[in-house]
Amino acid sequence: MPDALRVAFAGTPPFAASALAAILDAGHDVALVLTQPDRPQGRGLKLAPSAVKTLAVERGLTVLQPPTLKGLPPPTGARPDILIVAAYGLILPQAMLDWPRHGAINIHASLLPRWRGAAPIQRALLAGDEETGISIMQMDSGLDTGPVIARTVVPIAPRDTAGTLTERLTAVGAEAVVRTLAQLTKAGVLASQPQDAPAATYAGKIGRTEAAIRWNEDAVTIDRVVRALNPAPGAFATLQGATIKIWAAEPTEGFGPAGEILSADGNGLLVACGRGALRVRELQRGGGRRLSAASFLDGHPVAAGATFEGGSD
């Protein structure tokens, strides 16, 4: 097998773009890139390309953006050696998985079979996991059910957010897929192990109801919600009739009715929880900017005794 493989690639966000860049920099021939259609972004809702499309255009690659792959035959042209998928966002039909000589592999941001599905990074943080990682998986028709080629463990730091953890996993994923391609070029085959299906857990998409802070929960649990939903969609509650997103906080000691602000000063808003308290360091009023607690209080004074509203069990 030649040192450079003929690769097809399917992905959309920066997580995927980093992997595509690494594959190109390793000298492989990326014959085709699939990515999602341009989406409205920003306050002006102007159509904007995905991170993968932006990189692909810069590198002069062929890009396809079908709104769906259902009923779509595999692209014409020379058959690729392998299809690499990373956070593409569309389900690949069996014909697409069978199209490359060595099938399709996926870069998944968890240690499979834990956290199969759409939001593995957020779910690992919500669950309080101490580690996660990258799995390189041979794709089949199931949802992240295929045999695993390689796993790389990544520790979760105590104050990690979805944003900081994604940054580390992005770099690890890019390195892992390049190693996998090197293995394929050397051996001509990718060894893999079936997943332990009974041990599987599922990482469903984060819904708006999950983003609503439930102050009757303990402070550690609420802190996980804040970190898991940063940078998107953001954990929120209601204060004095306004929706407030909470971007940075930390659990601490405190006692009072759930949701009550015990103190409010430059060190943050200390909010009572079902057990313990949450010190809110950074927050954002609807339509406004993210602000430190001190800056927020300058423009929106809040006194001790005011109460955050939020979801309840």
Statement to judge: residues 118 and 161 lie in one domain: yes
Statement to judge: residues 220 and 297 lie in one domain: yes
Statement to judge: residues 266 and 176 lie in one domain: no
Q: Of 167, 199, 231, which marks where a domain is finished?
A: 199
| Confidence class for position 78, pLDDT limits 50, 70, 90 | confident
> In this predicted structure, what is the pLDDT of residue 53?
98
Q: Of 199, 222, 249, which marks where a domain is finished?
A: 199
Statement to judge: residues 145 and 100 lie in one domain: yes
Q: What is the dihedral of CA 68, 71, 73, 74, to 10 degrees?
A: 40
> In this predicted structure, what is the pLDDT of residue 76?
76
Looking at the chain, the whole-number percentage of residues with pLDDT higher than 90 is 90
For the chain, give the mean pLDDT: 95
Statement to judge: residues 136 and 92 lie in one domain: yes
Statement to judge: residues 60 and 23 lie in one domain: yes
Mean pLDDT, residues 54-61: 98
Looking at the chain, the whole-number percentage of residues with pLDDT higher than 70 is 98
Statement to judge: residues 140 and 182 lie in one domain: yes
| Confidence class for position 197, pLDDT limits 50, 70, 90 | very high
> In this predicted structure, what is the pLDDT of residue 242?
94
* Inter-axis angle of helices 14-25 and 162-187, nearest 10: 30
| Confidence class for position 22, pLDDT limits 50, 70, 90 | very high
Q: Of 199, 223, 255, which marks where a domain is finished?
A: 199
> In this predicted structure, what is the pLDDT of residue 56?
98
For residue 297, give its domain range: 209-309
Statement to judge: residues 258 and 190 lie in one domain: no
Of 96, 100, 99, the C-alpha closest to 68 is 96
In a domain, 157, yes or no: yes
Statement to judge: residues 194 and 219 lie in one domain: no
Give me the CATH number covering residue 129. 3.40.50.170
pLDDT at 113 over 70: yes
Q: Are 185 and 102 in contact (CB under 8 A)?
A: no
pLDDT at 241 over 60: yes
In a domain, 133, yes or no: yes
Q: How many CA atoms lie within 13 A of 149 on its CB side?
A: 24
Q: pLDDT tens-digit profile of 205-240?
A: 999 899 999 999 999 999 999 999 999 999 999 999
> In this predicted structure, what is the pLDDT of residue 310?
65
> In this predicted structure, what is the pLDDT of residue 264?
97
Mean pLDDT, residues 180-194: 96
Give me the CATH number covering residue 263. 3.10.25.10
> In this predicted structure, what is the pLDDT of residue 41?
85
In a domain, 37, yes or no: yes
Q: What's at 150, amino acid-wise?
A: A
Mean pLDDT, residues 285-305: 94
> In this predicted structure, what is the pLDDT of residue 217?
97
Mean pLDDT, residues 262-289: 96
Transcribe 94-150 into DSSP letters.
HHHHHSSTT-EEEEESS-TTTTBSS-HHHHHHHTT-SEEEEEEEE--SSSS-SPEEE
Statement to judge: residues 268 and 165 lie in one domain: no
Statement to judge: residues 32 and 181 lie in one domain: yes
In a domain, 184, yes or no: yes
Mean pLDDT, residues 153-163: 98
pLDDT at 196 over 90: yes
In a domain, 204, yes or no: no
Statement to judge: residues 224 and 194 lie in one domain: no
How would you classify the pairing of strands 104-108 and 131-138? antiparallel
pLDDT at 120 over 50: yes
Q: Are 28 and 181 in contact (CB under 8 A)?
A: yes
> In this predicted structure, what is the pLDDT of residue 35?
97
In a domain, 247, yes or no: yes
> In this predicted structure, what is the pLDDT of residue 2?
64
> In this predicted structure, what is the pLDDT of residue 313?
42
> In this predicted structure, what is the pLDDT of residue 70?
86
| Number of structural domains the chain divides into | 2
d(CA 96, CA 173): 22
Mean pLDDT, residues 98-108: 96
In a domain, 173, yes or no: yes
In a domain, 150, yes or no: yes
